[in-house]
Copies of this chain bind each other. A is one copy, B any other.
Amino acid sequence: MDSKWYLGTGAQSDVVISTRIRFARNIKEFAFPAKLSVPERIRVNNILEKAILSCKEFDFRFIEMKTMSQLQAVSLAERHLVSPEFASSCDGRALIITEDESVSIMLCEEDHIRLQVMKAGLSLDEAFKVADGIDDAIGAKLNYAFDDRIGFLTQYPTNLGTGMRASVMLHLPALTAMGQIQRLISTVSKLGLSIGGSYGEFTHAKGDLYQLSNRITLGISEKVAIENLKSIALQIAAQERAAREELSKSKETEDKIHRAYGILKHARLLGIDEFMKCISLIRLGAVQNILKADDALISKLMVDMQPATISISVERPLDDKARDELRAQLVRESLS
């Protein structure tokens, strides 16, 4: 567990939690996964497995999704290793991941290959470099579906071209508290980017976490898309910092942050929404020197306390109340 990528730290990490680069790729010889039967997808996955696992510079592990329990699959989605849709239906799907979970490759999601690389903090160039290296290695072994005029071919036109989605996870408690998110969404949208909750564009932002990503993949180079995203992420981070300074002047903020700590330290029942709200305040408090808290512990709890992930830690399904009770207990113990 201690070697997981999200326990590390990176640039701008007071606001930018993590960076993700995702490539969508397909191979020429097969139709898109949606057009394939389950046995055909399994055949594709086996071909992809062989090609990808032969890239010896990575400690890749291959997992057939149908060998996983529903809880394990959902836990993967909670850790952003697979998309929620991928976790919801496992037939003919497979996953390749590294031990530290920084690289994950969904096989037969929307496209044959969905390669993603994650890094802590704002780390777009580094993440791109890693993803690009893996992509080249795989591309050397397989025939990617590629059109000289358009670029990479993908099932949905929104990914045509680079097939790249670059995104950063932003922690925006102050802009949220000041009611500036709607304005931000509309500004960002005019700049060709999209912003949404931590599980995608249309999800609710829990824990004041927002995913900012590029929308344009056609007629733009990866480099330009990344530069564009980086520049806007830095601007938002600057706005968030200014808002935090403003917010931190008030006793009410200090009170809210310490109360959040009190809840995590003393509650006996703790739902995921309240947990995320409190941990967000504690992260803010730590950055603003209002209280002391261990960065890596916060990052670890934000992952480990998710509903399915917490359930698989005790290797049995839990009802809502038992899960809230276990979450309260684990959080209490980890803070003492």
A interface residues with partner B (beta carbon < 8 Å): 251-252, 254-255, 258-259, 261-263, 265-269, 321, 325, 328
Contact = CB atoms under 8 A, between A and B. Distances in A.
Contacts of A251: 268-269, 321, 325
B255 A262 contact: no
26 contacts: A251-B268, A251-B269, A251-B321, A251-B325, A252-B269, A254-B268, A255-B267, A255-B268, A255-B269, A255-B328, A258-B266, A258-B267, A258-B268, A259-B262, A259-B263, A259-B266, A259-B267, A259-B268, A261-B266, A262-B262, A262-B263, A262-B265, A262-B266, A262-B267, A265-B265, A265-B266
Given A254-B268, A255-B269, A262-B263, 13 more contacts: A251-B269, A251-B321, A251-B325, A252-B269, A255-B267, A255-B268, A258-B267, A259-B263, A259-B268, A262-B262, A262-B265, A262-B266, A265-B265
Nearest to A325: B251
Contacts of A325: 251
Q: Is the interface of A mostly helix, strand, loop or mixed?
A: helix
Q: Which 8 A-B pairs have the closest CB atoms?
A: A262-B266, A262-B262, A255-B268, A255-B269, A258-B266, A254-B268, A258-B268, A259-B267
A256 to B, nearest CB: 9
Nearest to A270: B255
Contacts of A321: 251
A328 B325 CA distance: 28
A255 to B, nearest CB: 4
A254 B325 CA distance: 11
A262 B264 CA distance: 9
A248 to B, nearest CB: 12
A335 to B, nearest CB: 11
A254 B251 CA distance: 29
Nearest to A263: B262
Contacts of A261: 266
A269 B255 CA distance: 6
Contacts of A262: 259, 262-263, 265-267
A266 to B, nearest CB: 3
A259 B259 CA distance: 9
A211 to B, nearest CB: 31
Nearest to A256: B268
Nearest to A268: B255
A43 to B, nearest CB: 51
A250 to B, nearest CB: 10
A269 B257 CA distance: 11
Contacts of A328: 255
Nearest to A332: B258
A259 B271 CA distance: 14
